[in-house]
Structure 1
């Protein structure tokens, strides 16, 4: 019986470790996303011509995917912004 309790204790702390690892992975992802957004904004300010070209390329690629739905331009821009925040 002592062994079963010891094993459960081990599983519990492994579970806690997994939860902790998941939390910090999500937190790292959130912080890296914010950092990437900041770098992108600074890059866009430094080279507006390249930023406009990249934006046009992203918009064109997105239109190829969702073009048949005839979405308004503001919705397309929101999708691109979502992509930059989450991926």
Structure 2
């Protein structure tokens, strides 16, 4: 009897190659597999998606990873507040 891959239920066919490659390169497939198996089944899907997102972010920005997205969003919020305050002042 062949065991099913622990990642199979969480990565769609078109995402599997890129997501698994990123997870394996950044965190190690064995480590993530152990982590997923220790979680309750109802949390594994969210964990797998989050880990894949973080792995792809880390590959794109090895220093900041997904924090770079947070910083960019904070800058957008600050910029939006500045623009809206300028509009309010000009009214």
TM range (shorter): 0.3 to 0.5
Structure whose alpha-carbon radius of gyration is higher: 1
Q: Larger RCO: Structure 1 or Structure 2 (Cα < 8 Å, ≥ 6 residues apart)?
A: 1
Q: TM-score if structure 1 supplies the norm length?
A: 0.34
Q: Which protein has the bigger helix share?
A: 1
